[in-house]
Amino acid sequence: MKSGTILLTGFEPFGGEHINPSWEVARALDGEQVAGARVLAWQLPCVFGAALQSLAKALAQHQPQLVLALGQAAGRSELSVERVAINVDDARIADNQGSQPIDEAVIADAPAAYFSTLPIKSMVAALRVAGYPAGISQSAGTFVCNHVFYGMQHQLAGSAVRSGFMHIPLLPQQAALHPGQPSMALETMITGVRLALGVAWRVRNDVRQGGGTIA
C-alpha cells in the first residue's frame, strides 16, 4: 500500500492515574505520515462496552486500512506486541464508570479467541534491531485493553482491515509514584510506535521466527 489511513487508538487515564501513556503516544503521532499512510489518533474511554462503541464510531468515520490500539501496562518494561485476544472480561478493578465484570464474555456466542492480523514478529524484530526493548506478549489481560482488542478483531474479522494491539510501559512520572515499577520515556515510546506502524503498514507476510514462551 502506498497511501491510506492508520487508526491509532489510546485510552483515557484510569485507576486513579492522571495520565495514560497510550493516549500521549497516540496524540503525538496524530496527523503524521508513516510509510505513506496518514495516522489518525482516537481516544477510547476506559469503560467496558463504551470503549467498543467508540471504536466502532472511529472505524466507521475514518475507514482505516490498518488499526493499532495502544494500552498502558504497569509492570511491563518493553513495547509488548500482543498476539491473541480472548473472549473474557474479568476485571480486577472497576472501569471508569464503576463496572467490574467477572468471568463474562466480551461478545456472547463468539469465538474463544482471535489472533492479531498484524505482522507482530516483523514489528518486534525491527524494534529490537533499532534498539528498542520489545517483545511478543501472549496475553493482553482481561481488562478493558483485551476487551477492545477482542471486540476489534471480532468486528474486523473477514475484512481487509488489519489490526492488533500493543501494550506500552508506564511513564517515568507514573513509575515515580509506584516504586519498583519499570517505565519508559515518552519520546522513546513515540519513536518506537512510529517504527512499528511503518513495519505494520509495509509488511504483508510476517517473518517466521521463534517468538513464543516456554511457560
Q: Residues with catalytic annotation?
A: 82, 145, 167
Q: How far apart are CA 88 and CA 194, in angstroms?
A: 30
In Å, what is the CA distance from 56 to each residue of 170, 187, 195? 27, 29, 26
> What is residue 7's three-state secondary structure?
strand
Closest listed residue to residue 5, CA positions, set 202, 206, 201 = 201
Inter-residue contact 134 to 124 (CB < 8 Å): yes
Sign of the torsion formed by the C-alpha atoms of 123, 89, 152 and 156: positive
Would you call 54 exposed, middle or buried from its count of C-beta atoms within 10 A (0-12, 13-18, 19+)?
middle
Q: How far apart are CA 13 and CA 144, in angstroms?
A: 12
